Each structure stands twice: as structure tokens, then as C-alpha cells.
Chains A and B, each alone.
Chain A
Amino acid sequence: MTRESAPDRPLTRIGKIFRTTAFKLSLAYLMLFALLASLGLGYVAWNARRVLDDQIVSTIDAEINGLSEQYTAGGLRRLIAVVERRAQEPGASLYLVTTPAGEHIVGNVSRVPSGVLSQPGQYDGPYGRRSEAEGEEHRAIMRVYTLAGGFRLLVGRDTEERDRLRAAIGNTFGSSLALVVLLGVVGGWFVASRVLKRVDDMTETTRTIMAGDLDGRLRVAGTGDELDRLAQNLNLMLERIGELMRGMKEVSDNIAHDLKTPLTRLRNRADEALRTADSPDALRMAIEGVIEDSDGLIRVFNALLTIARLEAGSAPETFRRFDAGAVAREVAELYEPLAEEKGLSLTVTAEPDLQLDGNRELVGQALANLIDNAIKYGGDAAEGAPREIVVDAARADGAVRLRVADRGPGIPEAERGRVLDRFIRLDAARSRPGFGLGLSLVNAVARLHGGRVELADNAPGLAAALILPLKIA
């Protein structure tokens, strides 16, 4: 118990959800999506800024061109007049004209950082407005141009609007990302906890089954999804395991019962010989009897092992193509003299070319068991009934049917399912040699080949058929 306790330690609900595959998957998708969204929005913001800046710069360039033309045409006076006029227009650009020494002549810009005016070129930074108090600062893109005569001309555009737009884009970007993350987390949480609930249920059920409740089954939600299919398959597996367990239990019960009898007989025989046998001949007889008994026991064990191996196995690699009709003829021929000795006629009819993939030896042995039974019980035919056994091999519905029909007492319908089980011997057969393994071996061979055994009324008698599909499912 201590060994198992570590992984079984109860997790908090949140801890559990973080561990679920569903949650991990949604988290991964969420991160991927957030990354892609950031890249997309970032590109949009960057591009918008570039376009706006380009536009500002080209406006400034155009104005500088215009103003320098005015200066060339009309001199400083004309330039001052134009600048003064333009500076008063609403939404105007920024203007400043200075002497070569940097003294302000005209314009709506009161100050720029020192050194800007002395260097012609573009400048992105703070400035002050003439109409406003000393402390207020704005930002602008400005260009300084040196006119003929050393006068400086500064033209700029305030970038407040551009910055507002950038801020708006940034805000949108941030809030949509937050929304995506929030929805993702909530969605992932929802999916994960739903899946987790069902998986937890399954874990709980399997745990009770492991604890010994072999009849427990997993709940199937009826949605037909993966978890449902898993639950259905696990249930089928449990069904099969239960069947095998019941079989095992039955076998061990039967072994205990049906093997103890011959073992006791064997022991008694040896014991009696030891006590009473007074001549070598008597001892010899007793020992021969002991060997005979133990041979019988060995046979039972071999048959049991064979059946167990067959039932445990699926179609093994020993399957080869063979003619089932030929097997029917050969085995019938093997048993024909024995039948004749019992006063029974054994006839065989087989369709030609009944090719089948399977284990010829095992099919032969199964058929031998059926014929052996038919001879054993067919001899009990009622007065007047024909003393005959008919073996017949034919194709039937995508399968080969190997049928052995006798005229014996048959098997009552209610008992027909039961006789295929191990060690089942109907009362009528109790007095005969045998261990009730013959038909269960036939059944195991049939199942190994994906087929079945059919027991039917031969009116009177039993018709036992081994049905082997041509194609193994």
C-alpha cells in the first residue's frame, strides 16, 4: 500500500486541471494564438506609424520647397509675410525663421532644443509654442533648412495626432490580447474539467473493479465520442476477462473434482497391491493397472493444456492452407474400422477442394473427437434405428462445415450449450470412459479458427458440426 500511496496522493482540483491533457492542449493553443495575434497587431501598428510619418515628412518637404521659392522670389520680407499668414491658420504647421545667428524673426515656435537650428536636417523631438506658457512641451517632426544668406527656416508638424493613434492601436491591441487569453483560459478550463470529470469517473470505476468488483462496468455517456468508445472497449475487455476468470474457476473446481477421483483410484490400487499382492504376477498386474491409470491422467492433463492454450491464443503462425475435405476423408478412414467393429456404418461425403487457412492437425483432432463420440454413443441406437454415422464436409455461407451425425440418444436441447464446457459429462455418459473434454476441445479448435460448434437434433441422434469460416475475421 505504501508503495502506491505516492501517485495516489489527492491533488487539489486546480492542480488536477493543470495536469489534464485537455488543459495543456488549450494552453498551448492559447499561447500560439496570442503570439500570432501580437505579431499581426504589431505589424499593423508599425505600418500605420510608418505611413503617417512618411506623410508628415512629405508635407514638410513640400512646404519648405514652397517657402524657399517665396524667399528666392520675394526676399525675406515676402517670406516673413507668408509665414506669418500661414502660422495663424487653424491646424497649421510649425514655422520658425531665424537670423543666421539664431535670433527668432517670425513663426509660431517659441523654442527648440539648442543646437537643432544650427544643423540643417530632420529632427524628431520636443518644442514649445509661442502662444503657450513656458513649461508646455509638444513633440513634432521638424526640418531645418538654410536659406541663401544664412537665414534658417524650420518647418514642422506636430505629432500629437499620430501619437494618439498609436496609443489607440496599442490599447486595442492590449485589450484584445487580454480578452483572447481570458476566453482561452476559461474555455480550456471548461473543456478540461468536463473531460476530467469523465476520466475521474472512469478511474474511480476501474479502481473498484481492481478492488475485486469484477462485475462493475464503466459508464457510457452515449455521445459516441472517443471516451465513450474507450469505455465500451474497456467494458468488452472486462467482459472477456470475466469470462476467462469464470472459465478458470470452473476448470479448477472441475479439476479438483474430476481428477481427484482417478487419482484416488490410482492410489488405492497401488496401496492394495502393496498390502495384498503376494506373487510377482499379481504385482505385475497391479503395476500395469497403475500405469494405465496414470496414462489416463496424463491424457487428461494434455487435453486440458491443449484446450487452455487454444483458448488463450489467437490465430497462430502455424496456420496453413489445407483441404478440409481431405481431412474429413482421412479421419473418417482412420475411424472406419473401429466403427465397423462396433457394428456401425461410417460413410463420408466431401465436396472437392475445400481449401481453408488453419491448423490441419487441430481440425483433424477435433473431427476425430466428434467421430469418436459418434462411435461411442451411436452404438446405443434404439431398436430399429439405422446404425450409421454420416460424416460430411461442405461449403456453407462462407464457411466450411464438417458435420458428424449419429443415430445415438442425442443430447437434449437444454444441455447442448453446456456440453461444450470442460468436464461436462451428461448423466448418461457417466458410466463410460472419458473425461468430458472431447467436445470442449472441439469448441476450442473452432474458436481458434474464428468458427463455432453447432449441435443439432439428427432425429434421432446428434448432428455435431464444426463450422470454420473461409476468411478469418
Chain B
Amino acid sequence: MRLLIIEDDREAAAYLVKAFREAGHAVDHAGDGLDGYALAREGDYDVLIVDRMLPKLDGLSLVRSLREQGIATPVLILSALGQVDDRVKGLRAGGDDYLPKPYAFSELLARTEVLARRRAAAPGQTEATAYRVGDLELDRLSHRVTRAGREIVLQPREFRLLEYLMRHAGQVVTRTMLLEHVWDYHFDPQTNVIDVHVSRLRSKIDRGFEHPLIHTVRGAGYVIRLDEPHVT
């Protein structure tokens, strides 16, 4: 995907540019709000990563201006202000996601990829009514989950957890993303509460099957995908 990072701190920006390139993405960088605004208007980006406090034009005004111009590129706002009301302000200004500093790069990468995917799927397309990963199927209308044709009974929350994982199949989702989208709370789950939920789900989905579908990504989160059998 093609990214634009608008961040005035040189060191932070250089780190992000390098890290995103290593993850296989094309990255442009703007050092202040006005440059960023100009680049964002001209270039065709999948996601904009915007620091909230920028010289010349602050992040929230930048996003607001872009939205007024009808530019709907997904925006992830980075901010040292991590409180609930700042988050609300960021989203109200037209941001699509909000990540308080300091953050783990894995968290930023996961969220950015989800935003890019959402954009690719967005125009006029309705949400799929069923998801499939390997032999695992989830029907959103009948709330039925089957693996290899065998029905799996899930609790409502487990169903939503699996639904979120499968919607982002192949993408890493972090613990905070799960807490946000499955439980609708935006705080840092200090303990391993989410892990316990995932392992419960995993025991229902993967137990007794040769190829597990739910994978833990160290230092990042979880991903659901069909791993190609390793050739040894």
C-alpha cells in the first residue's frame, strides 16, 4: 500500500518510513501540515498517518480541510494526547482511527493495514454476508459457524470475535483493536484478558484439526489465516 506520513519529528518520521518500507509499503513523508495537506490532495494514498501537533497547520485542521474537499482517504491520527476526549475530537474531525503515543510499531502497522483494506473494499460495496478461511465458514446472517462442514457453537461474544478476525483474515489485529471492536472499549487491557478470550475461541475452532487457523503474532496480536503447509 501507499502511505503518507505527516510528522514533524524527524527521528520519529525516519523510523516510521524505514519500518513501513521494511514491511513492504511505499511511503512518502511530509514534515509540516501545509506540505502534508498539499501532498495528500495530489497523491493517491491508501492511508494517511497524521501527527496531531504539526507546525503551520495542525493535524485536526488538516483532516477537517481534507474532508471538506471531499477527500476520503482513511486517516490515522497519532497523538501524544491519549485521553478519551482527545480521541473523540480526533474522530469527530474526520479521522478514522486514533493511536496515542507512545505506541508499538506492530500496533500502528496492524491498524494501518486494516484501514487500507477498508478503503480497498469501500466504494459502494456492501459488507460480505459470509466469511471463509480455509474450511472455516461464518455466516453473518444465520450466525452459524462451521468447520469442515461441522457446526461449531459459539457464545455471542465469541462469534463477534471470530467475525472480526475473519473480516480481517490475513491481517494482524492487536489486542486493543479487538477490545475496541468486539467490546467497544478503548482502554489498554493491562492483563491478558483478551488472550484468554482468544484461547477459548481457539479451542473451539482449532482443536482436533491438523492446521490451526488462529495464530499468535509475537509482540503484535493475532491473525486468522490458512498457513500453507511448510515444505521441509
Contact = CB atoms under 8 A, between A and B. Distances in A.
B183 A338 contact: no
Contacts of B187: 361, 364-365, 368
A277 to B, nearest CB: 18
B82 A335 contact: no
Contacts of A341: 196
Contacts of A301: 102
B193 A334 contact: yes
Contact of B82 (A302, A333, A338, A372): A302
Interface string B96-120: 0000101010000000000000000
B84 A362 contact: yes
A295 B189 CA distance: 12
Contacts of B192: 338
Interface residues of B, number: 26
B197 interface: yes
Nearest to B196: A337
Nearest to B100: A302
B185 A318 contact: no
Interface string B174-201: 0000010001111111111100110010
B84 A359 contact: yes
Contacts of A291: 104, 219
A9 to B, nearest CB: 44
A237 interface: no
A338 B104 CA distance: 24
Contacts of A375: 191
User: What secondary structure prevails in chain A residues at the interface with B?
Assistant: helix
Given A288-B219, A372-B191, A338 B196 contact: yes
A361 B135 CA distance: 37
B85 interface: yes
B88 interface: yes
Nearest to A320: B88
User: Which of A291, A299, A359, A365 has its CB near the most chain B CB atoms (within 10 A)?
Assistant: A365
Contacts of A305: 82-83
B196 A309 contact: no
B104 A295 contact: yes
Size range of the chain A interface in the assembly? 20 to 34
A330 interface: yes
B25 interface: no
Nearest to B103: A298
A299 B188 contact: yes
B107 to A, nearest CB: 10
Nearest to A342: B196
Nearest to B186: A361
B204 interface: no
A8 interface: no
Contacts, number: 58
Contacts of A306: 82-83
B157 interface: yes
A383 interface: no
A375 B183 CA distance: 20
Interface in A259-304: 288, 291, 295, 298-299, 301-302
A318 B82 contact: no
A318 B190 contact: no
Contacts of A364: 185, 187
A298 B191 contact: no
Given A361-B186, A361-B187, A364-B187, A316 B200 contact: no
B190 A299 contact: yes
A226 interface: no
A341 B191 CA distance: 13
Interface in B64-115: 82-85, 88, 100, 102, 104
A188 B219 CA distance: 78
B221 to A, nearest CB: 13
A415 interface: no
Contacts of A288: 218-219
Contacts of A89: none
B88 A337 contact: no
Contacts of A362: 84
Given A364-B187, A368-B187, A333 B157 contact: yes
Given A306-B83, A359-B84, A365-B185, A337 B200 contact: yes
User: Which of A316, A334, A362 has its CB near the most chain B CB atoms (within 10 A)?
Assistant: A334
B188 to A, nearest CB: 6
A63 B83 CA distance: 103
A240 to B, nearest CB: 22
Contacts of B183: 330, 334
Contacts of A333: 157
Interface of A: 288, 291, 295, 298-299, 301-302, 305-306, 309, 316-318, 330-331, 333-335, 337-338, 341, 359, 361-362, 364-365, 368, 372, 375
Q: Which 6 A-B pairs have the closest CB atoms?
A: A365-B187, A337-B196, A318-B85, A338-B196, A364-B185, A361-B84
13 contacts: A299-B190, A305-B82, A318-B85, A330-B184, A330-B185, A334-B183, A337-B193, A337-B200, A338-B196, A361-B187, A362-B84, A368-B185, A375-B191
